[in-house]
Chain A
Amino acid sequence: MDQLMMAGGTIVVGVFGCVAYFFAANLILDAVYPAKGPRAGANISRASAIRPWLFLLPAILLLGIYLVYPVFVSIWLSLRDASGEEFVGLANYEWLVNDSKFRESIRNNFLWLLVVPAASTFFGLVAAALTDRIRWGNLAKALIFMPMAISFVGASVIWKFIYDYRGEGREEIGLLNAVIEALGGTEQTWLAIPFWNNFFLMAVLIWIQTGFAMVILSAALRGIPEETVEAAVLDGASPLQIFLRIKVPQIWGTIAVVWTTITILVLKVFDIVLAMTNGQWGTQVLANLMFDWMFRGNDAGRASAVALVIMVLVTPIMIWNIANARKETR
């Protein structure tokens, strides 16, 4: 309880502090450059040149310290040894290239990149197209969307239960093994099957992200001009043709946005792997490898090098996003 009081206190102090800062800064600015008197004109233009920066200052400070500064420190750390004391040049990267776990992580990350955005977008598109046609579509949508609210760790518990394996002679309580058994197959320790276990982990993220894809694509589908669909109906197109030839081409832009958003998420995926296999049985990914070297390996150099690899992989998307945003603001 003390803690919640402290949190409450922090909110009050934080919020009050923020408001007080903005208020006081504005007041001081108006006092230094009053908008009256002999030099009112010059004062007003000076004050309005400074004011935006007063509004921006807290944000710039936070962003600068917590997001920009670490990029440079990481680069610097990645060129140094485990404790950060000695300069080792590119030794950490050399180690990376030759490390089998790193190669495994890269391979797995590419698998994730290929499968998860494609599958989530596909299922999202299907769900969006289908739920828009039926009366209980909104309820269906809410239920498919719900996993978005569940934490990756919570989802990992949910899915680990599905993949549960009890072994010969015992009643299977994991859904997947029970189904396999009912169909006459043999039970498997799903999470320990090399290579394929990656896909069982991906299922968790696909399950979470499909709702996101569905919501956005559904809005895009509704935004399609009626006339194009009506024209196609008059020309005798089947529903499938309308969907594939008329609707989908019109929402390519949105599909791309969904795809890249999920791609970024996939590159940072960490909780699911940590909670379900911790990178064992050939399921390691970059983000978890970085976490491993940071906490268990206690090697800031190698961990930073892995983090920078993730950064490099994200960069093309970042540039693409910036280019798009600039096009819009113009």
Chain B
Amino acid sequence: MDNIAGTRSSLVWAVHLAVLALVLLWTLPTVGLLVSSFRDRDQIAATGWWAALFPAEERMVVRLAGAGEQRQEGDLWVVEGDLIEEGTLNRFGTSARAPFAHAAGETGELANGGRVKVEADGSYRAEAAQPFGERGPRLFVAVDTAPRFTTANYERVLFAEGIGRAFLNTMTVTIPATIIPILVAAFAAYALAWMEFPGRALLIAAVVGLLVVPLQLALIPLLQLHNAVGIGKDYLGIWLAHSAFGLPLAIYLLRNYMVGLPREIIESARVDGATDFQIFVKIILPLSFPALASFAIFQFLWTWNDLLVATVFLSNTPEQLVMTGVLRELLGSRGGDWEILAASAFVSIAVPIVVFFAMQRYLVRGLLAGSVK
């Protein structure tokens, strides 16, 4: 027992290290994609994002100048030129079998029997006994390029890949789908919390039950219903659907919160002759602001991030495709173009993350009210 202080301090260190490890595990995936979204396309393919600050070795295939630029020196045909615009040339090679056989400054043999000497700055001199062809010989080069960071990926996805339009579409879906259920739920929650009527307990139980009904069940019947009443696949349909799907949680959260409000306030207002409508608008709504805010954040995150409901209730056209939908299509069609995917993903997760960090307090409160109680 003589080293209690010692064990404690080593334990504290262990805790710090463990938390650090957890935090790294939980942030590195996102950081990796974020870094990649600002990297040059060729550099993403050349090195991992963790090496973004170091020169990347890019490998490419270039052609020497052809017959158009050759000149004759004695009995040799000669072409000269520069292979790269920037960076340092490391290695080069003349055949696909040994693409990087020679270091810079060495001389390699060309397929036509000639020789080529390439310097580190990319300048070269090739000579051969026969004239060069119309197209110059192929050369494989490995070039070290300085780290390049760019916002070009973002410009490209916003304006050329449809993300900009999808951003607007997502806003169009999200804002009404967040605001409308709040109002509907607030009235219902007040009735379930503070009004006496037969069947109240049953309705509360029903709301709790509806909390977990899988959306999958609702898709086909509702799509058929929307088509039957003429809404079809349009924004009105998805606003209604999102509002309804968010209602159980909204009612549940708000009712739990409203029940906790002090009874005296409401009863003294009743004694003073206030109607339920007045009590609701003037007392309950302002007092319930924290609960309203937490639900609003939930619903916002959920509708913004949703893919399923948007895929089913909106069409696949550029006018209606939301960001998650575009992302999913890009994953399919441009699976390897990480600069596009990374930038698109970050455009789509930027707004929720800002909302998340700005309103975290309310989000946590809502989570606790929704599950601990």
Which residues of B line the A interface, CB within 8 A?
Answer: 11-12, 15-16, 18-19, 22-23, 26-30, 32-33, 36, 44-50, 57, 168-169, 171-173, 175-176, 179-180, 183-185, 187-188, 190-192, 195-197, 200-201, 203-222, 224-225, 235-236, 239-241, 243-245, 247-248, 251, 275-277, 280, 301, 304-308, 311-312, 319, 324, 327-328, 331-332, 338, 341-342, 344-345, 348-349, 352-353, 355-357, 360, 363-364, 367-368, 371-373
Contact = CB atoms under 8 A, between A and B. Distances in A.
B26 A66 contact: no
A215 interface: yes
Given A53-B197, A304-B220, A154 B348 contact: yes
A66 B218 contact: yes
B371 A157 contact: no
B191 A268 contact: no
Given A63-B244, A172-B48, A157 B204 contact: no
A300 B353 CA distance: 37
B45 A10 contact: no
Contact of B367 (A10, A134, A215): A215
Contacts of A67: 210, 213, 218, 244-245, 247-248
B277 A22 contact: yes
A170 to B, nearest CB: 8
Contact of B184 (A62, A151, A329): A62
Given A151-B348, A321-B209, A146 B356 contact: yes
Contacts of B217: 70-71, 74, 304, 307-308, 310-311
B277 A134 contact: no
B216 to A, nearest CB: 4
27 contacts: A3-B319, A10-B176, A10-B239, A30-B275, A51-B191, A55-B190, A70-B217, A74-B217, A74-B218, A131-B19, A140-B23, A146-B27, A151-B327, A152-B307, A158-B29, A172-B48, A207-B29, A216-B371, A239-B11, A254-B371, A261-B371, A264-B212, A267-B214, A291-B311, A307-B220, A322-B205, A325-B208
A163 to B, nearest CB: 10
Given A63-B247, A131-B19, A161-B342, A220 B305 contact: no
